[in-house]
Amino acid sequence: MTQLTGAEAMVRMLQQFGVTHVFGLCGDTSLPLYDAFARLEHGITHVLTRDERSAAYMADGYARIAKKPGVCEGPSGGGATYILPGVVEANESSIPVLAITTDIATTSRGRYTLTELDQQNLFRPLTKWAGVANSAADIPRLMRTAFTHMSTGHTGAAHLSLPFDAQKGAVDDDEIWGDAALGGYPVRRSGADPHDVERAVALLTSFANKLFVIGGGVVLSGAERELAELAETLQAGVVTTISGQGSLAETHPLCGGVVGSNGGTRWTRSIVEMADLIVFVGCRAGSVTTERRRFPASGKVRVLHIDIDPAVIGANYPTDLGLVGDCRVVLRQLINALAGQTVFELPSRLNAAAIAKAKADKHSAFLALAHSDAAPILPERVVHDLQAVLPDDAIVVADPGTPCPYFSAYYEIRRTGRRFFSNRAHGALGYSMAAALGAWFAEPTAKVVSVMGDGSFGFTVGELETIVRVKAPITMVVISNSVYGWIKAGQKTGFDARYFSVDFNRTDHAAVAAAYGIKSWRVEDPRALRGVLKQAVEWGGPTLVDVICQPLQDAQAPVSEWVA
C-alpha cells in the first residue's frame, strides 16, 4: 500500500473536489504544504497574496462567480487571525469558502510556542464547520466533511487547522477519495413538504397584490429561470436585496430593483407599500432589507417565506406559511402545483404598469444628477458613465461606503446571474479589489471592475502588486473624497454634524498605481470621465481610475436614514 504525507494527502484531496485555484500566503508552519504543492503534479494554481484577508476575499469572489467552493490558506498565529474576516464574510453570505490554516505541531501545544492559539475555537462560532487534523490520517476524512458542510443545505464557510506534524505524517493512499459533486454548490438539494406547497398555492392565488422579495438564495441556488416563470405566471412584482441582484434582470417589466435602507429609494419603497402578500425567497428579511421591519410593516401584510434555513422563517415577521427547501426546488414545486390550476387575474394596483412608473420616476431623478457637470464629480455620474462603457456581462464588485448604495441602486443589472456583488454581511473595507481578482480567476473572459472608496484603497493597496504579477486585466475605480464618508454622513444626520476623526488626507491613487506598474488616470473634470473610463475598460492590462468625487455627507445617497 502506497503512503503519502499529510501535506501530499491535502493536495490530492483538493484534486478530488475539483479545486483549481488556492489563494494564500506563506509562513513557517506551511512549509510541508508548500513543498507538496511544489513537488506534485496537480493542476492547481496557487495565487500568492500580500495579505491573508485578501486571500479569503479572493476565495469569496472566486466562489461567487465559479459556483465552486473557494479555497484560501495561511499560516499560524497572525495568519489565522488575518484570514478570519474574509471567512466570516463568506459564511454570513452563504458562500462556500474553505480556509486552511497551518499550525504548530501537536507536540508543541501548551509550551508557549510562537504563534500558538486555539484555531478551532477561534473559527468554530464563525463558520458552518471547523475541524483540526490532529494526525495525518484525519486529513481525508475531515476534507470530505468540510466539503459536505460547505456545499449542502445552507451553504457556508469551513475551516481546517493543519498542524505541522500532521502535514509530515503518513496517510494511506486508499483514503484519498471524495464525492466530486461536492466541488460545486448547492448539491443534495431538498424540497418543501408537498402539503405546504398546496397551502402556498392557495395563498398565492388569493391575493392580487403579490410581491416577491428576493435575497441571495435565488442566485446561490441557480433559480433565476424558476423565479421568472413563477412571477410571470402569477403576474407578481419582484424586488431584490443587494445580494439578490441578478435573480431577475432589472430590465424585466416585473422587476422593481433594490429595496431597503442601503440602495433602496422612495420609488422602490412605494412598490413594497402596494403589496398585500409578501413572498420572501432566499431572504432573511433583516434590518437593511426591510428598513427595520417598517417596509413591509410588520403585522400589516401577509407573509409567505421560502428558505433553505428553517431558523430564518418567522424570525422577523409573523409568517402565514414557511416553505423549507432549496429555492430552485421549491419554486419549481410551486410552478408545477400551479400548472393544474386556473390562475385568475385579480384587480391589482401592484402590476407591471405601476412598477414601470416607479422605475421611470427613479431613473428620471437619477439622470438629473448623473448628467451634472458639477465638481467634485457626483457619484451618480460615475455610475452612469461606467455603465455606458461596460458590456452587459461585465462583473462589478463594489466595496461598502460610497460604491455599494450607489451601484446597487442605479447600476442596472441587465441579465440574470451574479454580475454585481458587494460584501453585505459585515461590510468590511478592503474587499472589492481582492474579490474582483478572485472573480477574474473564475471567469477570465469577463470584464471585471472593482469600485472602491479611498478608505478601502488604503486597506488593500498591496494587492496591486498581485494584480500586476498575475497580469489580470481588471479595472479599478477609486471614489476619492478623502473621508470615511459613511460615518461622516451618519454624524451629519444623527449627531448634529459633530464631525470627529473621519477625515484624512487625499492620496494620489493614480500615482500609487503607476508605481506598481498599472496604467492609471486621475479625473477631476466630469466631462472627461466617460472617455477615461472607456480607455481604462478597453486597455489590455490592469487599470485604475482615480475619480475626485463629492463627499458622501454632501451627496444625495440612496440611504434611507440620511434622507429627510
CATH code for the domain in which residue 263 is found: 3.40.50.1220
Q: What is the DSSP letter of 553?
A: G
CB 479 within 8 A of CB 379: yes
- Omega within 30 of 0 (cis) for the link into 296: yes
Mean pLDDT score, 175-193:
98
As a whole-number percent, the residues of the chain with pLDDT over 90 amount to: 96
How many other C-beta atoms lie within 10 A of the C-beta of residue 169?
Answer: 22
Percent of the chain with pLDDT over 70: 99
Domain count, the chain: 3
- Alpha-helical segments (H) within 132-276: 139-151, 164-168, 194-204, 217-221, 224-234, 266-273
Would you call the peptide bond into 85 cis, given omega within 30 degrees of 0 as the criterion?
A: no
Tens digits of per-residue pLDDT, 46-71? 999 999 999 999 999 999 999 999 99
| Whether residue 235 sits in one domain with residue 179 | no
- pLDDT-derived band of residue 340, with 50, 70 and 90 as boundaries? confident
519, 414: one domain = yes
pLDDT band (50, 70, 90) for residue 344: low
Q: How far is CA 112 from the centre of its chain?
A: 38
Domain termination residue (choose one: 135, 156, 183): 183
pLDDT tops 90 at residue 423: yes
Number of neighbouring beta carbons within 10 Å of residue 318: 11
What mean pLDDT comes out for the span 253-265? 96
pLDDT of residue 347: 81
Same domain, yes or no: 402 and 300 = no
Q: What is the pLDDT of residue 562?
A: 85
Residue pLDDT, tens place only, 103-125: 999 999 999 999 999 999 999 99
* Residue 143 Cα to chain centre, angstroms: 24
Statement to judge: residues 19 and 128 lie in one domain:
yes
541 vs 244: CA distance, rounded Å:
31
Q: Is the residue at 19 inside a domain?
A: yes
Return the C-alpha torsion angle 73, 77, 79, 81, nearest 10.
100
Query: Do 386 and 490 belong together in one domain?
Result: yes
Residue 42 sits in which domain range?
3-183
pLDDT at 342 over 90: no
Q: Is the pLDDT of residue 261 over 90?
A: yes
d(CA 332, CA 345): 21
Assigned domain for 145 exists: yes
Q: Which CATH number covers residue 399?
A: 3.40.50.970
Are 402 and 537 in the same domain? yes
* pLDDT score for 156: 98
Same domain as 268, residue 224 = yes
Determine contact, residues 559/262, Cβ cutoff 8 Å.
Answer: yes
Cβ(216)–Cβ(51) below 8 Å: no
Domain boundary among 354, 389, 412: 354
The answer as to whether 362 is a domain residue is no
Q: How far apart are CA 267 and CA 273, in angstroms?
A: 10
Q: Measured between alpha carbons, how far is 444 from 268 in angstroms, rounded to an integer?
A: 34
CB 322 within 8 A of CB 192: no
Same domain for 321 and 391?
no
- Asked whether residue 360 is assigned to any structural domain, the reply reads no
Count of CA atoms in the C-beta half-sphere (13 A) of 249: 10
Return the pLDDT at 123.
98
Can you tell me the distance from the alpha carbon of 539 to that of 310, in angstroms, rounded to the nearest whole number? 48
Closest CA to 453 of 390, 515, 398: 398
pLDDT exceeds 80 at position 549: yes
Task: Write the DSSP symbol of residue 418.
Answer: S
Separation of alpha carbons 440 and 45, rounded Å: 13
Kindly report, residue by residue over 395-419, the tens digit of the pLDDT. Answer: 999 999 899 999 999 999 999 999 9
Same domain for 132 and 209, yes or no, is no
Q: Which of 183, 204, 221 is the last residue of a domain?
A: 183
For residue 1, pLDDT beyond 90? no
pLDDT value at residue 106:
96
Say whether both 381 and 331 belong to one domain: no
- Whether 188 is covered by a domain: the verdict is no
Closest CA to 186 of 22, 16, 68: 68
Per-residue model confidence as pLDDT tens digits over 13-47: 999 999 999 999 999 999 999 999 999 999 999 99
- Flag whether pLDDT at 564 surpasses 70: no
pLDDT at 228: 98
Look at residue 258 and tell me whether its pLDDT is greater than 90. Answer: yes
**Statement to judge: residues 343 and 384 lie in one domain:** no
344, exposed or middle or buried, with CB in 10 Å at 0-12, 13-18, 19+? Answer: exposed
pLDDT per residue as tens digits for the range 465-515: 999 999 999 999 999 999 999 999 999 999 999 999 999 999 999 999 999
Given a cut of 90, whether residue 388 has pLDDT beyond it is yes
- Is residue 363 domain-resident? no
**CB atoms closer than 10 angstroms to residue 473:** 16
CA 185 to chain centre: 15
* Contact by Cβ (8 Å): 282, 307: yes
Mean pLDDT, rounded, for 372-382: 97
pLDDT at position 349 over 80: yes
Q: Is the pLDDT score of 345 beyond 90?
A: no
249: pLDDT strictly greater than 90 = yes
Residue 217 within a domain:
yes
* CA–CA gap between residue 305 and residue 213 (Å, rounded): 10
Both 217 and 334 in a single domain? yes
Average pLDDT, the chain: 96
228-257 average pLDDT score? 97
Q: Among 270, 397, 283, which Cα is nearest to 256's? A: 270
In this structure, is residue 364 part of a structural domain? no
Dump pLDDT digits (tens) for 312-332: 999 999 999 999 999 999 999
